[in-house]
Amino acid sequence: MFFPMFAMFMLTVALAFAAVKARIASVKNGEMKISYFRLMSGEALPENVAKTTRSFNNQFEVPTLFYVIATLHMIMDLDNLAAQALAWLFVLLRYVHAYIHLGSNNVKFRMLTFFSGLLVLVALWFHAALLAI
């Protein structure tokens, strides 16, 4: 489970860099004033700043449940091929979700990818529950 967790961590780091890059670019090209970032208020965000920031923030929502269950799989010695497959599938879907979010931002495909990842996460939790019995 360590490597899927590491891959999720790397996605979060990549999205953090993308968000910072978008913020710096928006200040440099005059779309935003740097003072906005003091309290994160005062003006509308350019689309690229909003998308990258939201995509980064998304990594602290549902993926936190992934980190919990992946850690539990390791601690409780529940890690097996099924758990690994589910973990990697979840991570893959999170990468696809971020790609869609930062690219076309097609809400239909993004929601489908999000919900698919959530179902995989539910399966991972049930996998642990069944093995822990």
- What CATH number did the domain enclosing 46 receive? 1.20.120.550
Q: 20 lies in which domain range?
A: 2-132
Taking the C-alpha atoms of residue 11 and residue 90, their distance in angstroms, rounded to an integer, is 12
pLDDT band with cut points at 50, 70 and 90 for residue 44: confident
Sign of CA dihedral 60, 89, 9, 13: negative
User: Residue 121 pLDDT more than 90?
Assistant: yes
Mean per-residue pLDDT, 95-109? 96
Q: What pLDDT sits at residue 42?
A: 74
Q: Phi and psi (nearest 5°) for 112?
A: -60, -45
Mean per-residue pLDDT, 3-29? 96
pTM: 0.93
The number of distinct structural domains making up the chain is 1
Higher pLDDT, 39 or 87: 87
The token pair that represents 133 in the structure block: 């019995």
Q: Which one, of 2, 3, 31, 4, lies nearest residue 87 by Cα?
A: 4
- Using a pLDDT cut of 70, give the percent of the chain over it: 100
- The enclosing H or E element of 68 equals helix 62-75
